[in-house]
Amino acid sequence: MSVVISTPQLRAEVSADGAELIRLQDDQGRDWLWDGDPAFWTGRSPLLFPIVGRVRNDRIRVDGLEYELPKHGFARTSRFDIEEANPSYCRFRLCSSEATLQGYPFPFQLDVSYAVEGATLSIISSVANTGSSGMPVSFGFHPAFRWPLPYGAPRDAHEIWFEQEETAPIRRPLEGLIKRETELSPIQGSTLALRDDLFEADALVFDQLRSRSIGYGARESASLRVDFPDMPHLGIWTKPGSGFICIEPWQGYADPQDFIGDFSDKPGIVAIQPGETRRFAIDIAVKPPIGQSD
């Protein structure tokens, strides 16, 4: 089951499975989101909760006990309840259950809302601690956009533009965990020119990110802007040769290679106290070429 919300400029479809955005179209019906082609990757825009990436041996340690937790957590494979739906807004909810507590021993309520205004889609994920002790958590967005975008610009003309210059080194995954060693950033100033060979060693992981807003597209052609004021980390990923690029604002990331501690001490984790709610949000603004309909 899915919900469609729209304005004259933008149409978004969200599935109750994973509360996942599965389609994003402009006023001409052009698709900006990846279509989930199983030849490359079946995801479209999964939500990562309560972890981002992998943990060592797919297990977390909490107060001396181990719990099995799959890569990116369980939200992306869970059925959410539809709490609200109107022509321009919808909200989904996932609550802890006996099944989730077996892998993540913390009671929670996760609400995910989608709203469209003009040519902008806003996504807000609110994580509430419904238990009686502190709840460690990570959260991530994982939207996959078309590469190339609509309007005909060639694939090799596409770039990512950062809000600020990003000079800090990057990290890479190794067997799902984060390597100890860093690499020089491939960003030149504030621009990352996209090419397949950047991703032959897997994703680019920015754990010292300065920017909270980035643009993606081809100059003088279609582009989009992704704003993520609440998210301090970023992953950029594709499968070389595919038709998508993932721009992934995160709170947290996979276990570092040498991390063996309690889940609450994992780098990137935030603690939500009993009765409190933590908000994670992104805005996606679609920008057709200048002079064309927006």
- Bridge partner list, 48: 140
> What pLDDT does 283 receive?
98
Task: Render pLDDT for 80-132 as a digit per residue (tens, 0 to 9).
Answer: 999 999 999 999 999 999 999 999 999 999 999 999 999 999 999 999 999 99
Q: Tens of pLDDT along 179-206? A: 999 999 999 999 999 999 999 999 999 9
Query: 70-89 burial string, b = 16+ CB within 10 Å, else e?
Result: eebbbbbebebeeeeeeeee
SS3 77: helix
pLDDT digits (tens, 9 = 90+) for 126-153: 999 999 999 999 999 999 999 999 999 9
pLDDT for position 51 = 98
Residue 62 CA, chain-centre distance (Å), reads 25
Q: What is the per-residue pLDDT for 294? A: 43
The band of 290, judged by pLDDT with boundaries at 50, 70 and 90, is: low
Predicted pLDDT at 292: 56
- Asked if 178 contacts 253 with a C-beta cutoff of 8 angstroms, the reply is yes
Strand, coil or helix: what is 197?
helix
Q: Is the pLDDT of residue 291 over 90?
A: no
Nearby residues of 106 by Cβ (< 8 Å), 6 or more positions away: 50, 96, 129, 131, 133, 135, 136, 137
pTM of the model: 0.95
pLDDT at 288: 84
Residue closest to 226 by CA, chosen among 208, 248, 255, 244: 248
Q: What is the mean pLDDT of the chain?
A: 96
pLDDT tens, position by position, 236-281: 999 999 999 999 999 999 999 999 999 999 999 999 999 999 999 9
Interacting residues of 27 by C-beta distance below 8 A, sequence separation 6+: 8, 9, 10, 293, 294
The predicted structure's pLDDT at residue 12: 98
Mean pLDDT (whole number) for 49-72: 96
Q: Does domain 2-287 have CATH number 3.30.565.10?
A: no
pLDDT in tens, 24-54: 999 999 999 999 999 999 999 999 999 999 9
Using CA atoms, how far residue 243 sits from 144, 154, 212, 263, in Å, is 9, 12, 25, 35
Residue 293 has pLDDT above 80, yes or no: no
- Residue spans of the domains in the chain: they are 2-287
Distance CA 99, CA 67 (A): 12
Question: pLDDT tens digit string along 222-239?
Answer: 999 999 999 999 999 999
